[in-house]
């Protein structure tokens, strides 16, 4: 793992896009690495912000409490479980490849998985089956997987960063939903990588049982080849019956 010192940069006017008051806090919007970040500071002269220069991701949202990042993988798939991961990273964790799992190669994801699992303060991965998805829907199943992964963390997080815009509150723990957070915060990116790699591994095991669906390639996602295999072979026990597996006029052939 590559480590970088925790560096800070005094606010410079050229980087400030907007400054406004919000109660007793001052909110600064800044631009860094082609993204806009927002920081809240108490009304004091001694505020500092993370140095965005050369950093692909922010190391944390706040530094006072133990912080966990959460993300899921497999929501849009036609088959297989949905996975979620929760990761707590050291405040000074840095790796040049760390990013949204969809933005890096499979080889990079596999390497990062080893680094994250070795260097994190705590990590956990959970899954919810296709059968459960059909019973309670995919959104509730994704959030359930997140809660299950958080349940396994030790030490317990005191603050949670969640990728996306929906989350069921976790008991006695504040959280923040961040749209596209896996491209902004390191802990969410790390969670996205663990969720993705563990799910891909599970789909490879299922492929050994049902090779006709080519899950070693499509991982259960709705590719043309996957849908054609459904037409030819019908559905497996791992397909999500509540999803539109084929166009509506062909569904009668499946059930």
pTM above threshold 0.85: no
Claim to verify: residue 109 and residue 217 sit in the same structural domain: yes
Q: What is the largest CA-CA distance in the chain?
A: 69
Range of the domain at 23: 7-50
**Is residue 250 located within the same domain as residue 128?**
yes
Q: Do residues 34 and 145 both lie within one domain?
A: no
Measured CA distances, 126 to 17, 84, 184, 221 (Å):
39, 5, 23, 19
253 — pLDDT class (breaks 50, 70, 90): low
Q: Dig out the tokens for 29 from the structure.
A: 């919007």
In a domain, 2, yes or no: no
The answer to whether position 215 is within a domain reads yes
Pairing mode of beta strands 67-73, 159-163: parallel
Per-residue pLDDT tens digits for 118-131:
999 999 999 999 99
Q: How many domains would you assign to the chain?
A: 2
Predicted confidence band at 142 (pLDDT cuts at 50, 70, 90)? very high
129, 240: one domain: yes
| pLDDT tens-place string over residues 40-87 | 444 333 334 444 444 569 999 998 999 999 999 999 999 999 999 999
Band of residue 250 on the pLDDT scale cut at 50, 70, 90 = confident
Q: Quick one: pLDDT band at residue 254, thresholds 50, 70, 90?
A: low
CA dist 96 and 106 (Å) reads 15
């Amino acid at each position: 793992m590559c480590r970088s010192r925790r560096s800070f940069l005094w606010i410079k006017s050229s980087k400030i896009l907007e400054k406004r008051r919000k109660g007793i806090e001052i909110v600064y919007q800044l631009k860094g690495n082609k993204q806009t970040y927002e920081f809240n500071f108490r009304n004091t002269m001694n505020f500092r912000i993370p140095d965005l220069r050369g950093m692909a991701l922010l190391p944390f949202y706040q530094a006072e409490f133990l912080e966990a990042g959460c993300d899921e993988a497999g929501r849009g798939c036609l088959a297989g479980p949905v996975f979620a991961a929760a990761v707590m990273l050291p405040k000074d964790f840095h790796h040049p490849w760390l990013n949204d799992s969809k933005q890096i190669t499979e080889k990079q994801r596999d390497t990062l998985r080893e680094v994250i699992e070795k260097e994190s303060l705590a990590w956990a991965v959970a899954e919810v089956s296709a059968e459960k998805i059909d019973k309670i829907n995919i959104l509730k199943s994704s959030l359930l997987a997140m809660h299950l992964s958080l349940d396994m963390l030790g030490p317990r997080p005191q603050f949670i960063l969640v990728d996306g815009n929906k989350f069921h509150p976790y008991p006695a723990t504040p959280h923040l939903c961040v749209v596209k957070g896996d491209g902004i915060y390191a802990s969410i990116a790390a969670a996205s990588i663990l969720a993705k790699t563990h799910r891909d591994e599970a789909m490879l095991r299922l492929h050994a049982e049902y090779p006709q669906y080519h899950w070693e390639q499509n991982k259960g996602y709705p590719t043309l080849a996957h849908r054609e295999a459904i037409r030819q072979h019908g559905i497996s026990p791992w397909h999500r019956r509540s999803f539109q597996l084929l166009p509506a006029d062909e569904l009668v052939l499946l059930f």
